[in-house]
Structure 1
Amino acid sequence: MYMAKEMNNRQAYFNYQIDDRYVAGIALLGTEVKSVREGKVSFNDSFCLFDKGELWLRGLYIAEYALGTTNNHIAVHDRKLLLTARELKRLQASTKERGFTIVPLRVFFNDKNLVKVEIGLARGKKTHDKRETIKKRDTDREIKRFLK
């Protein structure tokens, strides 16, 4: 059986400072699971929002399944995230604070072959923080190159 590697949201780590992480289930249609297994997921402009006490993932692109029939899924639509009531209350209270947002960090399969999404409670970085991140990444790259 083919297992896809986990898909990471690299832009989220660059644009945001991640304070807290949660693992949530995600409500998917049948062909969406097959596309995720093939690794056809894109996090461009995806974010989480609350609607009527439920957490939804908006903007996550899961490509249509190549072997799907007329019942194939729509590539971009809102997907419900499955968390406990306590976690939802904690996240909703945190997002009401100034500057916090919820972003998806990675999509992966757990031990039971269920699709899970790791979400992070994040605060946006300023421009100078992004420059520091770039500088640190470049120096780490130079050190690794020198040690080889």
Structure 2
Amino acid sequence: MKKSRFSNDINIRNRQAGFEYELMDKYVAGMVLTGTEIKSIREGKANLQDGYCYLSNNELFVKGINITPYAQGTHYNHEATRERKLLLKRSELKKLEGKVEEKGLTLVPTRLFINDRGLAKLEIAVAKGKKVHDKRDNIRERDAKRELDRLKLK
């Protein structure tokens, strides 16, 4: 059986978001993509590290996500870092708008995946920036957990 270069079990994570932000509520949004963008995502060639979301005219957009241009694309290929519209229900957009207006809260993309119907979805989280001492506490907790796991294995 020949293995295809396209995959439906894509799960691209933004690991930096969990370290930089305290993640609160999570939402799953659809994305408006062009033809070559979905092909690049199915090859696993996307990066969420510098991405952020913003609201404009009661619509949600994500900016800074890098989807590598499709290798076999022609002159119709997409721009790698263009802003993309996210699709959410109007009630969810109203909730997000209220939360983002609070001081210190932002919207961060945390995971890009393809659902069982073959559609690209972006998981976004309402997040609050961490201070340096909060990050140190997380590192300390993670190291302690790792030590406990090592002792259990012995």
TM-score (norm 2): 0.92
Quick check: 2:29–2:122 contact (8 Å CA) kept in 1?
A: yes
Quick check: 2:17–2:49 contact (8 Å CA) kept in 1?
A: no
TM-superposed CA distance for 1:72, in Å, is: 0.6
TM-superposed CA distance for 1:25, in Å, is: 0.3
* Alignment of 1:88 onto 2:130: no
SS at match of 2:81: coil
Separation (CA, whole Å) in 1 of partners of 2:36 and 2:125: 26
SS at match of 1:57: strand
Quick check: 1:4–1:38 contact (8 Å CA) kept in 2?
A: no
* Alignment of 1:56 onto 2:35: no
Separation (CA, whole Å) in 2 of partners of 1:99 and 1:24: 22
**Structure 1 vs Structure 2 CA RMSD:** 1.1
State the 4+ residue runs in structure 1 displaced beyond 6 angstroms.
none
Quick check: 1:54–1:80 contact (8 Å CA) kept in 2?
A: yes
Separation (CA, whole Å) in 2 of partners of 1:56 and 1:127: 29
2:115 — aligned with what? 110
Match of 2:41 among 36, 54, 70: 36
TM-superposed CA distance for 1:43, in Å, is: 1.3
Amino acid at match of 1:139: A
Structure 1 unaligned regions, length at least 5? none
2:22 — aligned with what? 17
Q: How many residues align?
A: 148
**Quick one: structure 1 residues 4 and 40, their matched pair in 2 at CA, closer, same or farther if it must change by over 3 Å?**
farther
TM-superposed CA distance for 1:93, in Å, is: 0.8
Separation (CA, whole Å) in 2 of partners of 1:103 and 1:84: 18
* Alignment of 1:76 onto 2:109: no
TM-score (norm 1): 0.95
TM-superposed CA distance for 1:5, in Å, is: 2.8
TM-superposed CA distance for 1:51, in Å, is: 1.2
2:13 — aligned with what? 8
